Amino acid sequence: MPNRTPRTTTQKRLGHDHQQQRDRLLHRHVDGQPCWWCARPMYRDRTRNWDYNPNATRTDGKPDTSSGSLGADHSTPRSQSTTSRADRLLHGTCNKQRQGGHRDDQRPALTNRPDTDPALGTRIFNWP
């Protein structure tokens, strides 16, 4: 099976408009507000967020300068609405865990189940 070239943010409909919307959300953000997904506090300074990893690297081996950054999330998933705009911030890891929103009823903020396990590390799929 041939390797697919990863799509750019613009090809995923996360281009300039999405980045501008994220900037607007960050401008209105109040440090310490809880994340909708995990209920942990969120900060503009990425080094203060729980998912910050100073040793994180990208796939090309360079330092990951997005570790701990807040991500702009669509409460109405893009798969359900082509006109959906990002309307809230989540931790970057929480945004990845949420995926398309089909498990919103199982999010850690509601279930009180941690999204990390000391033996396993951070889990993207938080189910047994």
Q: Which amino acid is located at 126 in the chain?
A: N
Whether the pLDDT of residue 49 is over 90: the answer is yes
When pLDDT is averaged across residues 60-78 and rounded to a whole number, the result is 88
Rg of the chain's alpha carbons, rounded to an integer?
Answer: 15
Rounded CA separation 65/71 (Å):
13
**The pLDDT of residue 32 is above 90:** yes
83 within domain boundaries: yes
Is residue 25 included in any domain, yes or no? Answer: no
Read off the pTM.
Answer: 0.73
Among residues 83, 89, 93, 74, the alpha carbon closest in space to that of 27 is found at 89
Domain of 49, in residue numbers = 30-112
Q: Is residue 72 part of a domain?
A: yes
Give how far Cα 117 sits from Cα of 47, 68, 97, 109, 121, Å.
21, 18, 15, 16, 5
74 versus 11: the higher-pLDDT residue is: 74
Domain-located, residue 15 = no
| Mean pLDDT, residues 51-77 | 90
| Residue 35 is assigned to a structural domain of this protein | yes
Does the residue 125 lie in any domain?
Answer: no
Is residue 128 predicted with pLDDT exceeding 60? no
Helix (H), strand (E) at residue 96: helix 92-98
What is the total count of domains within the chain? Answer: 1
Tell me whether residue 20 is in a domain: no
pLDDT in tens, 79-89: 676 667 888 99
Q: Which residue has the higher pLDDT, 12 or 33?
A: 33
Determine, yes or no, domain membership for 14: no
Q: Is the pLDDT of residue 35 over 80?
A: yes
Kindly report the average pLDDT of the chain as a whole number: 82
